[in-house]
Structure 1
Amino acid sequence: MASEKRALSPTLLFSLGLLALSAFNYGLSDQAFSSCQAMDSFIHTFGKYEASEGKWAIPALDSSLYNSLKAGGQIIGVFIGSWVSNRWGRRMCIFSMSIYALGSASVVVSSTTQAQLQTARTLHYIYLGMQLAVIPTFLTELAPAKNRGGMGVIYWLSIKAGGLFITGIARKTKYFTSNAAWRIPFGLILVIPFVVACLVWFIPESARWYLLRDRQDDALKSLTRLKPKHTPEEVIQEEYIVLSGKVAEQLQKRSFRDLFTPQNRKRTFVVTVSNFFQQATGQAFASQYGTVFVKELNSVNPFSVTLGTNAVDIGAIIIAASLIDVVGRRILFHTSSILQTAALMTMGGLGTADSSNTHAKEGIVAMLLLFSFSWSLGWAPLVYVLGAELPSSPLREMTLQIAYTVKLITEFTVTFTYPYMETADTPHHVDLGGKLGFIYGSLSALAFVFSWFCIPETNRMEIEDIDREFDLDAKFKDIEEQKEEHTTVTELRN
C-alpha cells in the first residue's frame, strides 16, 4: 500500500512535462494556421481581389484545401511515426519529428504564395501526425495505472494550452499591417521542437517497449529511473517481474491478422469508430473555421471568441483530468455526447432565424462555445486515452494506424466540405450557416448510442490486464458457440 501512495519521481515528472511540451506545439501549430487565415494581411498575401465586392478574399476552394490537405500529411506522419517508434523507440521518433519540424516550419514562415504555403503546411502536418502516433502512447506507457487516465488527458490539455497561447498572440498581431502579423505566430512554431530535440535523450525509454523486444536489462533500468529515488529495490523488482510476465504473454501476437481475432476485433472496432465519431461531430468546423465562421456572422470579435473557446476547452479538460480516474471513462463519454448534441441542435435551430437577427447570431456563438466545452470534456481527450490503453501492446501501432487514418479522412471530409455548406459564394454552395448544427448534432446523438453500448470501462486497470479481460471474453464466447453447435448437432441427430 505504501508504494501506491508514493509520489511521482522527478524523472517521471520531467518526462511527462517534456511530452506535454511537445503536445503544446501541436496546438500552437494547428491554431496558428487556423487563426491567421482571418487576418487581413494574410488574406491580402494569399487571397485574391474580388472586384465585384471591392475586397480581398480567399476563394472557397483554396480555403477548403488549406484546411483539409493537412489530413493527408498527418496520415503519412502517423504511419512514419508508428514505424519509427516501433523500430527505434519512442525517443527516436520524438527526436526525428522535432528535427523535421524545424525544417517544415521554416518553409511555412518564408512562404509568399498560396501554393508554397499549401505545400509547406501539408508537409508540416507530417510532424503533427508523427506526434499523434507517439505522444499519447508514450504518456500511457509511462503512467502508473491509477494515474493513467489523467496523464492521458494531459496530451489534449497541452494541445489546448498551445492553442490558447497562440490565439492570444494572434489577437495582438492581427492589427499589424505587414506580413509580420502572421509570420510571428508561424515563427513561434520553431521554438519548441528545438527544445524537445535537445532534451528528449534525458528521459527514459518505455519499459514496455524494451520488454516487447526482449531487452530485459534495459527495461529494468528504465523502470528504476521512473521510480522515486528511495523506492525499495524489492518493490521495483516485484513490479518488474509482474510487468515482464504480463508482456511476455503478448509477444506472439504481432501480425496484421491478429487485429481481427476474437480477442482483438472488438478492440479494433471500438478504437476505430471512436476516432470516427471524434471528428464526425464537427470539431474540425469549430477548430479550423471557428474564427472565420464567427467573422462571417459580423456580431462579435472573432479572435476574442477563439480565445474564449480555447479557455473553456482548457477548463473542460481540467475537469476531465480530475474526474477520469474517479468516475471512469464511460460517464465522461456519455456526458460529453449529451451536451454536444444539445449544443449543436440548438445551434441548428438558431440558424433558421433571419440573417439580420443579432441575438440569434450571439446564440450561435454561445452554442459554439458550449459545443467546444462538451467535446473537450469527453470525446476530445478520452479517444486518445482509449487508443493508447485498449489495443493489445504489440498491436497498438497497427491499431492506431487504422484508427487515425479513419479519423483523419473524416476530418478531411468535414474541413473540405464546410466552406461549400456554410456560405453561398457561388450557385454550387448550400448556404446552411448555423443549420450545420443539425447535421453534426445527429452524428453526436449516434456517438452517444455507440459509447453506451460499445465503449468498455478500463479505469484503474493495467494495460496487460485489459488484454487478459478481452482474452477471457473471447474464450467465453468460443465456449458458448461450441455449446450451441453441440446442441444443434444433437437436435439434428434426434
Structure 2
Amino acid sequence: MVSTPPEKSNIRPRIYLRDFNATLICSVALLFFSALSYGFSDQSFASTQATFAFKKQFGDYKPKEKTYALPALYLSLLNSLKAGTQLVGVIIGNFISKHYGRRWCIFVMSLYSLGSVSVIVSGTSRGQMLAGRSIHYIYLGMQLAVIPTFLAEISPTHLRGGTGALYWLSIKCGGLLVTGIVRATSTNKSNIAWQLPIGLILTFPFLVAALVWFIPESPRWLLLVDRHDEALAALTRLRQTRAEKRNKVPISTEILVEFTGLTGTVEGIKTARCEKGGSRIRQFFSIFNRSNFRRTFIVVFLLFFQQSTGQSFASQYSTLFVQALNTVNPFSVTLGTNAVDIGGILCCILLADRLGRKPVLIISAVLQTAALLTMGGLGTTDPSTSADSDSIKAGIVAMLLLFSFGWSFGYAPLAYVVAAELPSPYLREYTLNVAYTVKLTMEFVVSFTYSYLEDPDKANLGGKLGFIYGSIAFLALIFSILFVPETKNIELEEMDERFGVAADNSILEKGTTEDPIDVKR
C-alpha cells in the first residue's frame, strides 16, 4: 500500500515512501556530486598553497629562513580576488537559471570549469595562477546560484531543511577528500604535489555535464515559464513511488493535490507581478518595499554573518595558520577540520527539520562565539615566553576546530537554506544577487586582510584574531534570536502569505503553528 503524504498540522510530519522516490534520490545525488566539486576546488587551492612545491614555484626564497614563502600581497590576492569573480558567476548563474532553467545552468557551468581548471594546472607563473583561480570561481559562483535553489525546489516541504543542508555537506565531503589527497602528495617536492589534486577537479564537471539531462527540471521553474504539462510530468517523476511506476497507475491524488496547490500559488504570484508591472529596475527595488524588506534584510544579514565570523580564515588559511604555530602537521589538522565540519553538518541535517532553522542557528552562533573569544584569550599569551607554549598552541588549534564545528552546525548550511526559502519566487534572483554580493564582499575582506593580520612583519595578531571574529559572532547570536523567523514546514510559495503584506493583517487571524513574534516582529 502506498502511504499518503502528510497533511499540515501541528505535529511534525513523518517521512513517507514517496520521499524515497528513485528519481528524487538520483537528482539530489547528482546535485550533491556537483556541489562536491565546490569543496574539492576550494580546499585543493587552500591546501596546496601550503606545500613546498607550490611555494617554490610561485613564492620567493627567504635566505634567512632558508625556505620559500608566498609574498603577503600575492597571498592576499590569491585568496580574495576570487570573491569578485565568484559574484560574477552568481549573476550569470541566476540569469541562466531564471531564463533557461536549472539544468542548462548546471550544464553550462560544468563545461566552463573544464577550461578554467586547465588554465590552473598548466600555470607556471604567479599571474597565470592568479588568473586561473579567479576565472574558476565564476564556475563556483554559478554553483552557488543554482544548486541550493534547485535542491529547495525539488524537495518535499518537510524534508527541505535537511536536503538543503546536503549542499554544504557535499562541499565539506569534497574538502575532506582533497585534503587527504594533498596530505599524501605534500611530501613530494615536484609540482605534482599541487597539480594532481587540482587536476582531479576535472572529474566532477565532466560527469555532471553528461548526466544532468537525465534528471527532471524544477517543476516550480517550469510553472513560472508557463510549461504546465512539463511541470506536472517533472513533479510526477520526483514524487511517484516505485510501485506506482511499475503498475503504471494514473497520477496519484497526492501528486495532483501538490501540483494544483503549486500551480495556484505560482499563478497568483505571476498575476500580482503583472498587476504591479514595471521594468526590471523597478522589480529589483521592490525587494526593499514594505512587503519584502524584512525578508531581504534577513537573507542579506544571514549571509553577511555567515562570512564575517571568519569562515574564510578557517577554510582558506587554516593550513598556513597551523603551520605558523609550528606544532602538529598542518595538513592533518586541515583533514581533521573537514571531518569535524562533516560531523557538524550531519547534526544540522538531523535537527533542521525537527528543532527548526532558528534554534539551530542560535546554537551555531553560541558555539562560534565561545570558540573564537576563547581563541582570542589564548592568543594574548606569548607562546615564546610561556612555559606552557605547547598547551596554548594546542588550545588555539582546538578552538579552531570547535569554531569550525559550530559554524558547520548551523550558519554554514542553513544560511543557504533560509536564503533560498524566504524570497518571493519572482524576486529570488534579485534578493540572492544582493545577498551574495554582501557575502562575497565579506569573504573578500576577511581573505584579503588575514595575511596582513597574521604576518609576523605586519599586525602579527595570531590567536588574537579570535577577538575580532568572536565579536561579530556575538552579533550573529543577537541577530538569530531577534530577527530570524522559523521557516520549517512552510511551502516556498506560502512565504508571500506568511512574511509579506498579508502577514500584517490576516495570518494572525487565521492562526498558525509559528510563533506570532516570528511571523511579524
Pick the TM interval, shorter chain: over 0.9
In the other structure, the counterpart of 1:303 is 331
Q: Which residue of 1 aligns with 2:355?
A: 327
Aligned to 1:383: 415
Q: Does 2:305 correspond to 1:277? A: yes
Contact 2:290 2:501 in 1 (8 A): no
Distance, in Å, in 1 between the alignment partners of 2:430 and 2:242 is 36
In structure 1, how many angstroms separate the alpha carbons of the residues matched to 2:356 and 2:114?
39
- Displacement after TM superposition at 1:3 (Å): 2.8
Could you tell me which residue of structure 1 aligns to residue 470 of structure 2? 441
Contact 2:103 2:212 in 1 (8 A): yes
1:455 aligns with 2:484: yes
Q: 1:269-418, aligned counterparts within 5 Å?
A: 269-356=297-384, 357-418=389-450
Selected match of 1:233 from 252, 257, 260:
252
Counterpart residue number, 2:4: 2
How do 1:107-256 residues align onto structure 2 when only pairs under 5 Å count?
107-227=119-239, 228-231=241-244, 232-251=251-270, 252-253=272-273, 255-256=283-284
Comparing 45-54 and 82-91, the one that deviates more? 45-54
Q: 1:347 corresponds to which letter in structure 2?
A: M
Q: CA deviation at 1:56?
A: 1.1
The whole-number CA distance in structure 2 between the counterparts of 1:6 and 1:365 is 44
| Inter-partner Cα distance in structure 2 for 1:201 and 1:118 | 33
- CA shift for structure 1 position 197: 0.1
Q: Deviations over 1:405-439 (max 9, x none)?
A: 100000000000001111222xxx21111000000
How many angstroms apart in 2 are the aligned matches of 1:424 and 1:322? 42
Deviation by residue 1:50-101 (Cα, 9 ceiling, x = unmatched) = 2343321101001100110110110000000000000100000000000000
Match of 2:493 in 1: 464
Structure-2 separation of matches of 1:352 and 1:276:
27
Q: Could you tell me how far 1:355 is from its partner in structure 2?
A: 2.5
**TM-superposition CA deviations, 1:281-318 (whole Å, max 9, x none):** 00100000000000000011100000000001000100
Cα deviations by residue, 1:230-283 (Å, 9 ceiling, x for unpaired): 455332222111110011111143711221222211101100011100000001
1:104 aligns with 2:136: no
Matched residue, 1:421: 453
Match of 2:512 in 1: none
Question: C-alpha distance in 2, partners of 1:212/1:2?
Answer: 27
CA contact (8 A) 1:46 1:114 kept: yes
Shift of 1:225: 1.0
Contact 2:424-2:496 within 8 A present in 1 as well:
yes
Q: Secondary structure at the match of 1:250?
A: helix
Does residue 34 (structure 1) correspond to residue 34 (structure 2)? The answer is no
Letter in 2 for 1:328: G
The secondary structure found in structure 2 opposite 1:170 is helix
Corresponding letter in the other structure for 2:381: A
Aligned partner letter, 1:385 = V
Where 2:61 maps in the other structure, the secondary structure is strand
CA RMSD of aligned residues (A): 1.5
Name the SS for the 1:69 alignment partner: helix
**Structure 1 unmatched ranges of 5 or more:** 480-494
- Structure 2 length normalisation: TM-score? 0.89
Mapped partners of 1:467, 1:305: distance in 2? 45
Q: Describe the shift of the 1:310–1:152 C-alpha distance in structure 2 as closer, same or farther (beyond 3 A).
A: same
Deviation at 1:476, TM superposition (A): 2.9
1:458-478 per-position Cα deviation (integer Å, ceiling 9, x unaligned): 11111112221123555439x
The residue number in structure 1 matching 2:12 is none
Aligned partner of 2:84 among 66, 72, 75: 72
Q: Deviations over 1:436-486 (max 9, x none)?
A: 000000000000011111110011111112221123555439x9xxxxxxx
Distance, in Å, in 2 between the alignment partners of 1:473 and 1:435 is 47
Q: Which moved more, 1:3-12 or 1:66-75?
A: 3-12
Tell me which amino acid in the other structure corresponds to 2:252. E
Write the distance in 2 (CA, Å) between the matches of 1:74 and 1:109: 19
Secondary structure of the structure 1 residue equivalent to 2:216 = coil
Question: Partners of 1:57 and 1:458 in 2: how far apart?
Answer: 47
Alignment partner of 1:56: what SS?
strand
Kept after mapping to 2: 8 A contact 1:262/1:474: no
Residue identity opposite 2:461 in structure 1: L
Mapped to 2, the partners of 1:77 and 1:471 lie a distance apart of 29
Whole-angstrom CA distance in 1 between matches of 2:189 and 2:289: 59
| More off after superposition, 123-132 vs 52-61 | 52-61
CA distance in 2, matches of 1:471, 1:127: 33
Match of 1:484 in 2: none
Letter aligned with residue 478 of structure 2: V
1:340-386 Cα distance to aligned partner (Å, 9 max, x none): 00000000000011222111111000000000000000000000001
